[in-house]
Amino acid sequence: MNYAGTMKFKVNEIFKSIQGESSFAGLDCAFVRLSGCNLRCSYCDTAYAYKAGRYMSIDEIVSKTASLDTHIIELTGGEPLWQPNTRELIDALVNLANGRARKTEPDIIKPRLLIETSGSMPIENINPDAVIIMDIKTPSSGCSQMMLLDNLNHIRPVDEIKFVIGDRKDYEYSRKMILDHRLTQRCGVLLSAVYGRIEPRKIIGWMLKDMLKARFQLQMHKYIWPVDKKGV
């Protein structure tokens, strides 16, 4: 399909690996990493995507992503909703994933587009076939005040919310958000550890003590490849 116009997006990298996070962890995935981010989280591991990148049309992005031939596609960043007109790019990537879904034998793993966003950009009116994996930034990120609370009105059961925990204060903040907004009744909820800042078992201990109904996760790719390796 040809997408009209001269619309271009600054792309940091497009690569194939396995999905390292969320309930889709472990599946083959094509990552489309857009450049630029409106936040500066203390633990950011993709600072290389703040500026670097090259401009690509929607057709070029779709063509490169299609060539990677994966079940899952993830639009990430930086912050993937920060550049203008990303809804059009999302529609094109959803079409690609849906085309795959129609060709594949029906099975549990349905080809999907995932969008990994920081929670600081509006998520309303995004193509309903995309799955949104949205951070709620915790205090130690230094960016929790940038969260758009209105986004919680647009989260659906198919989506997932992620808290990245660096210390006990982050955990208490996350627990309060989960309970106050009944998040576990509305979508999947993920708790993750800031790599190298906190022992994962500490968070797990707190979760078990509180019987917190959320899914603990590790950033799988950081345990498979060197932590600062790009393109994995």
Residue of 5, 26, 40, 51 that binds ligand SF4 (CB under 6 A): 40
Closest distance to ligand SF4 from the beta carbon of 34 (Å): 10
Other residues' Cβ atoms within 10 Å of the Cβ of residue 163:
23
Determine contact, residues 129/97, Cβ cutoff 8 Å. Answer: yes
Q: Which of residues 18-37 bind ligand SF4 (CB under 6 A)?
A: 37
Closest distance to ligand SF4 from the beta carbon of 69 (Å): 27
Closest distance to ligand SF4 from the beta carbon of 208 (Å): 27
Q: Which of residues 68-97 bind ligand SF4 (CB under 6 A)?
A: 77-79
Q: How many CA atoms lie within 13 A of 173 on its CB side?
A: 17
Is the torsion defined by CA of 19, 66, 151, 120 positive or negative?
Answer: positive
CA distance 167 to 99: 43
Determine contact, residues 116/76, Cβ cutoff 8 Å. Answer: yes
Chain length of the chain: 232
Instruction: Give the residue ranges of DSSP H helices in the chain.
Output: 58-68, 86-103, 168-180, 200-210, 220-224
Name the strands in the sheet holding 215-217, side by side, starting at the edge strand that comes first in the sequence. 54-57, 8-18, 28-34, 72-76, 112-117, 130-135, 160-165, 188-193, 215-217
Other residues' Cβ atoms within 10 Å of the Cβ of residue 56:
19
Closest distance to ligand SF4 from the beta carbon of 146 (Å): 9
User: Is 44 among the residues that bind ligand SF4 (CB under 6 A)?
Assistant: yes
Nearer to ligand SF4, 79 or 100 (CB): 79
Nearer to ligand SF4, 65 or 118 (CB): 118
Nearer to ligand SF4, 40 or 201 (CB): 40
Closest distance to ligand SF4 from the beta carbon of 46 (Å): 5
Closest distance to ligand SF4 from the beta carbon of 48 (Å): 10
Per the listing, tokens 């949104």 go with 132
- Per CB under 6 A, the segment of 14-22, 40-48, 66-74, 106-114 that binds ligand SF4 is 40-48
Q: Which of residues 118-137 bind ligand SF4 (CB under 6 A)?
A: 118
Nearer to ligand SF4, 66 or 148 (CB): 148
Residue of 14, 30, 41, 161 that binds ligand SF4 (CB under 6 A): 41
Binding residues (CB under 6 A) for ligand SF4: these are 37, 39-41, 44, 46, 77-79, 118
